[in-house]
Amino acid sequence: MKQLLYTLSTCSALLLWAGCKEMDRLDHIDPSTAIPQQISNVKVTGTPGGVILTYTLPKDPGLLYVKAEYDIRPGVRMESKSSIYSDTLKLSGFGDTSHYDIRLYSVGKNEKASEPITVSVVPLMPPVRTVFDSLTIEAAFGGVKMRFKNPQEANLAVVLLADTSGQGFWTELQAFYTRAPEDVLSFRGLPPTEKRFAVYLRDRWDNRSDTLFATLTPFFEEPVPKPFTILRLPTDTNEPVESQYPVERMWDGDIGSIFASKHNTLTPQWFTIDLGAPVVLSRVRMHQRLPNYTLTGSNVKMYELWGSNDPDPDGGWNNWQLLGKFSNYQPSGTPTAEEIHAAHVLGEDHDLDFVPPAYRYVRWKTLATYGGGPQVTIAEIFFWGQIQ
C-alpha cells in the first residue's frame, strides 16, 4: 500500500513539474507573410466636425483592418480603425474647416502596415462653432443666463468666466455640460453689481469657440420665505393618498418627506399656494422623491406655473396668468447616479422667461409624470424673486 502511495505521489510530482515547465509560445502571426495591399478609390464626405471616408478593399486574404491617422491640431494625433467587414471610416474631432491630411494604412494579420495613402479632407463647420453663433448671455435674477441652440445635440461644455476683480483677471465661475438641443443655463448667487462676463464653448476634443463678452448687472433676487399656505379651491387636487403625505410636506424643509396625491386622481392636476405676499417670481426649484423613485413613477416630469392676485372662487382659470411651462430634462435613458443626485438632492431649477407682475397666489399644474400614472409626488419646492 505504501509503495502504491509512493508511486502515485511521484507521478503527481512529475505531472506538476511538467505542467509548470515553460511552454513554447504559440504564435499565430506569421512574420514572413507579405505586407497587405493598399485600399483604393477613396471618397470623402464632410460632416460637422468630421469626415466619412469610403474606399474599396483589396482582395488580400492577409488584410486585417484599415487604419487612419490624422492630426486635429499640432501635437494632437487621432487614430481610427475599421475591420475588413466594412468599407467606411468615420473621423471626428476637427475644430474648423481647414484642409487636413489623412494617412490611410492597410494592416495585415501579421500587424504589418502598408505604405500610407494620403488624402486631403475638409470637414464641415463643427458644432462647437455653429452653436456659438446662437449663444447669448444676459442679466438674470441673482446672476446671468446663457441661451443657445444645439440641433445636432453635440456634447459641449459652456464655460462661464468673470472679471471678479475688475482688473482684467478672469476667473472661471462654472463649466456647464450639456447635449440638449436647446438650453438655457443660469449661474446664480451674484450681487446686483455691474461685472464683466465672458463665455465660450468647448467640445470633448478640447476645440474651443470664440469668446462672447458682456458687461451685465444681475437683478436682485431673494428666496420667498417658508412656510407657504395651501389655498383650497374646488377644482384643486390637494388631498393626500394617506395622512402622512400632506401638501405641507412640500415646504417643510425636508427633501426626505413628500406630498403624494391620491391614486384615483387625474392628470393634469393642480394645487394652489398662498405665498403670503405679492412676489415678482424669478425661478422655481423642485426636489423629486427620494432616490429609489427619482426620475421614475409619480415624480413630476412636466408642469406649468400660474400666478394670480384674485383666484376664481369656483376654482376656474379666468383670473390666472401663465408664468411658464417647464420640463425636467434627463440626458440619459436610464437614470444615472449623477442625475438622481441632481433631481433629488440638488433640485431642478427653472427660470421664468420673462419678468411677470407681482402675484401672491401661485398655481402648480402637473401635466405629466415619469410613469404616466395619475398620482403626483413632490418632495420640496422653493420660489425666488422680489417680494413686494
Identify the CA nearest to 343 among candidates 385, 375, 315, 301: 301
17 domain-assigned: no
Q: Specify whether 342 is located in the same domain as 367.
A: yes
How many domains does the chain contain in total? 3
Q: What was the pLDDT predicted at 83?
A: 94
Q: Specify whether 349 is located in the same domain as 234.
A: yes
Asked, as a colleague might, if the bond just before 31 is cis with ω within 30 of 0, I would say no
Tally Cβ neighbours within 10 Å of residue 189.
9
Asked whether residue 177 carries a pLDDT value surpassing 70, the answer given is yes
Q: Specify whether 203 is located in the same domain as 228.
A: no
Of 219, 243, 275, the residue that ends a domain is 219
240 domain-assigned: yes
Q: Specify whether 266 is located in the same domain as 374.
A: yes
3 domain-assigned: no
Asked whether residue 22 carries a pLDDT value surpassing 60, the answer given is no
Find out whether 200 and 148 touch, Cβ atoms under 8 Å: no
Q: 85 pLDDT band (50/70/90 cuts)?
A: very high
Q: Specify whether 265 is located in the same domain as 312.
A: yes
Domain span holding position 340: 223-387
Q: Which residue has the cell 515553460?
A: 22
DSSP label of 288: P
- Which range (128-137, 257-266, 305-314) has the least confidence? 257-266
At 385, is the secondary structure helix, strand, or coil? strand
Residues 361, 277, 380: CA angle, nearest 5 degrees: 60
Residues 112-141: pLDDT tens digits?
999 999 999 999 999 999 999 999 999 999
360 domain-assigned: yes
Q: Specify whether 290 is located in the same domain as 185.
A: no
185 domain-assigned: yes
CATH code: domain of residue 270: 2.60.120.260
Of 185, 219, 253, the residue that ends a domain is 219
Residues 203-228: pLDDT tens digits?
999 999 999 999 999 999 999 999 99
75 domain-assigned: yes
CATH code: domain of residue 66: 2.60.40.10
Measured CA to CA, the distance from residue 171 to residue 168 in angstroms comes to: 10
Q: In angstroms, what CA-CA distances link 176 with 139, 173, 199, 340, 386?
A: 17, 10, 11, 17, 27
Confidence (pTM)? 0.72
Instruction: Report percent pLDDT > 70 for the chain.
Output: 90
197 pairs with which residues across the strands? 162, 214
Q: Specify whether 80 is located in the same domain as 132.
A: no
Find out whether 163 and 216 touch, Cβ atoms under 8 Å: no
